[in-house]
């Protein structure tokens, strides 16, 4: 058992989260020590430039540019730099020196997770990352510990606050995508370059992390199918609500069986229709929520604010107390488990439901023609709703057809849409959206 003493905490990164973590460690030191069973002493904050202006009254002598020296003298290293390098190198240095590491860095976990977890296991250290997904929402620990005896079948997550804010504005305020994005930028929810959010890169990183953890399988970022939400139109959002759905950008991780009977896991990020009665439909603004379906536990949802500075700091502090408790108890950390090692299957293995909106000629026999096209491709139709004549001209009046399918494969659906596009009775394929949560 190690000697009972203060635990030396090194913070890498002097931004908003790093400053708040340091502040809370200092101001609530006594209370945290009582909870952890040991003191947590900030021994330094590594920054790139000592002269940078900081919104903080932390003691100046805590700051250093020598990250490596700081790491070597620490029991616990908190990595809040973000990005791949030098974060990856610092985390490896810390783990190799036997320190526990706490990180909020989804990018490095999604791309170098296996290497980092392996390094931790080698020395019996622990890598904590509750802050990497969903800000302060406890989701990593519930998946890792609470559901450790259960079998997760699916995760549907709203894991990007910016895009949820935008889609929610489009739904509740009637904004266009452009206006909603401008408002998100004005309020500080969106960055100057919103690509990582709106194109789903951020959500895909989180999907890789969640899928790896939930299925005890290494799911590389490159295996996550990704489709952003920039093509979602105001009209689609309005039509979705009319049909009883809201449009959400979802990160979906699930067990799937492909056409050859191979069981595996798949992860994907794309806009999807969610039924209004589903708990995820009630997640408004920049909030996040992760909906988990497990064999025994049934459906669970974890909801809260996404990653703001203070929320991320809360998650980091929770990990710090866990790390300190573990040091008090002694013994090695729990290795990240990849024992299941399921095959990671491509998007083409995934089946889901679709809503297809068509403008069709309002003539006898058209519905039958279209229904045949679906059945020819093996796509089963669950329901059709048809508007009265709403377009075209007197000679060739048109109507809108909204079709919901049963579960179908990506490829069968794509072939059906191809057929629909080339038939004369369909004037336009207005939209094709996946439906989740039914």
Catalytic residues: 206
Residue closer to a copy of itself (CB basis): 115 or 145: 145
Applying CB under 8 A, does 334 fall inside the site for a copy of itself?
yes
When asked if residue 187 is in the footprint of a copy of itself (CB under 8 A), the reply is no
* Region binding a copy of itself by CB under 8 A among candidate stretches 62-70, 328-336, 371-379, 419-427: 328-336
- Asked if residue 34 binds a copy of itself (CB under 8 A), the reply is yes
Residue 399 CB: number of other CB atoms within 10 A?
20
Q: Which residues in the 343-382 window bind a copy of itself by CB under 8 A? A: none
Residue 26 is a binding residue for a copy of itself (CB under 8 A):
no
* Residues of this chain, 214-253, that bind a copy of itself according to CB under 8 A: 216
The pattern of x and - marking residues 97 through 136 that bind a copy of itself according to CB under 8 A reads ---------------------------------x----xx
Task: Give 230 or 322: the residue with its C-beta nearer to a copy of itself.
Answer: 322
- In this complex, which beta carbon is closest to a copy of itself, that of residue 218 or of residue 311? 311
Asked if 175 and 185 count as a contact pair (C-beta separation under 8 A), the reply is no
255 binds a copy of itself (CB under 8 A): no
Please choose, out of 44-52, 255-263, 323-331, 358-366, the segment that lies near a copy of itself by the rule CB under 8 A. 323-331
For position 317 contacting a copy of itself by CB under 8 A, the verdict is yes
Which residues, at least 6 apart from 196, have a Cβ–Cβ distance to it below 8 Å?
A: 202
Rounded to a whole number of angstroms, the minimum distance from the CB of residue 120 to a copy of itself is 13
- Residue 256 in tokens: 């799937």
Q: Give the other-Cβ count within 10 Å of 301's Cβ.
A: 15
Stretch that binds a copy of itself, among 7-15, 193-201, 265-273, 329-337 (CB under 8 A): 329-337
| Spatial contact of 114 and 181, defined as CB atoms under 8 Å apart | no
Q: Is 35 in the site for a copy of itself (CB under 8 A)?
A: yes
In whole angstroms, how far apart are CA 135 and each of 110, 114, 227?
A: 16, 22, 23
Residue 209 CB contacts under 8 Å (≥ 6 apart), including other chains? 106, 109, 110, 113, 129, 132, 133
- Which spans in 37-160 are helix H? 67-72, 87-96, 106-123, 140-141
* Closest approach of a copy of itself to the CB of residue 418, in Å: 39
139, 156 contact by CB (below 8 A): no
Q: Does 296 bind a copy of itself (CB under 8 A)?
A: yes
* Number of CB atoms found within 10 A of residue 372's CB: 11
418: DSSP letter: H
In the bound state with a copy of itself, the residue whose beta carbon lies nearer, of 69 and 148, is 148
Shortest distance, CB of residue 363 to a copy of itself, whole angstroms? 42
Nearer to a copy of itself by Cβ, of 12 and 136: the residue is: 136
Cα→Cα distances 398→239, 360, 390, 424, Å: 17, 5, 6, 12
CB atoms within 10 A of CB 92: 18
Name which of 29 and 397 has its Cβ closer to a copy of itself.
Answer: 29
CB 258 within 8 A of CB 350: no
Yes or no: say if 222 and 118 are a contact pair by the CB < 8 Å rule.
Answer: no
Residue placing its CB nearer to a copy of itself in the complex, 37 or 83: 37
Burial class (CB in 10 A: 0-12, 13-18, 19+), 173: exposed
For position 150 contacting a copy of itself by CB under 8 A, the verdict is yes
Residues β-bridged to residue 101: 77, 127
Residues that bind a copy of itself (CB under 8 A): 1, 20, 24, 28, 31-32, 34-37, 130, 135-138, 141-142, 145-151, 216, 279, 282, 294-305, 308, 310-311, 313-322, 325-326, 328-335, 337, 339-340
């Amino acid at each position: 058992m190690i000697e009972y003493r203060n635990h030396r905490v090194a913070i890498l990164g002097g931004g908003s989260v790093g400053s708040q973590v340091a502040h809370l460690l200092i101001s609530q030191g006594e209370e945290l020590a009582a909870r952890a069973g040991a003191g947590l002493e900030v021994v330094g904050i590594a920054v790139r430039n000592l002269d940078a202006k900081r919104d903080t009254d932390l003691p100046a002598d805590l700051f250093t540019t020598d990250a490596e020296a700081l790491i070597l003298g620490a029991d616990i290293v908190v990595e809040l730099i973000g990005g791949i390098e030098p974060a990856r190198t610092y985390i490896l240095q810390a783990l190799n020196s036997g320190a526990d590491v706490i990180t909020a860095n989804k990018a490095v976990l999604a791309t170098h997770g296996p290497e980092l977890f392996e390094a931790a296991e080698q020395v019996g250290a622990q890598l904590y990352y509750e802050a990497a997904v969903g800000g302060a929402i406890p989701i990593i620990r519930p998946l890792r510990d609470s559901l450790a005896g259960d079998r997760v079948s699916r995760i549907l997550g709203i894991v990007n606050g910016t895009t949820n804010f935008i889609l929610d504005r489009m739904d509740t305020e009637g904004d266009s995508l452009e206006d909603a994005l401008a408002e998100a930028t004005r309020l500080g929810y969106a960055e100057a370059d919103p690509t990582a959010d709106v194109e789903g890169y951020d959500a895909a990183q989180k999907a890789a992390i969640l899928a790896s953890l939930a299925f005890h399988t290494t799911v590389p970022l490159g295996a996550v199918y990704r489709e952003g939400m920039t093509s979602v139109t105001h009209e689609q959002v309005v039509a979705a609500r009319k049909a009883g759905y809201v449009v959400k950008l979802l990160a979906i991780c699930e067990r799937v069986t492909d056409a050859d009977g191979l069981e595996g896991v798949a992860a994907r990020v794309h806009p999807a229709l969610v039924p209004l009665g589903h708990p995820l439909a009630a997640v408004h603004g920049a909030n996040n929520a992760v909906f988990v379906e497990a064999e025994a536990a049934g459906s669970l949802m974890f909801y809260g604010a996404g990653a703001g500075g203070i929320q991320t700091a809360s998650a980091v502090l929770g990990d710090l107390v866990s790390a300190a408790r573990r040091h008090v108890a002694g013994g090695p950390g729990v290795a990240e488990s990849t024992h299941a090692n399921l095959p990671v299957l491509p998007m083409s293995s995934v089946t889901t439901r679709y809503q297809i909106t068509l403008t069709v000629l309002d003539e006898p026999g058209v519905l039958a023609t279209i229904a045949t096209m679906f059945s020819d491709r093996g796509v089963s139709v669950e329901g059709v709703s048809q508007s009265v004549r709403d377009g075209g001209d007197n000679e060739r009046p048109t109507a809108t057809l909204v079709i919901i399918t049963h579960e179908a494969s990506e490829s069968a659906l794509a072939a059906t849409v191809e057929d629909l596009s080339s038939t004369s009775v369909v004037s336009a394929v207005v939209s094709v959206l996946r439906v989740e949560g039914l």
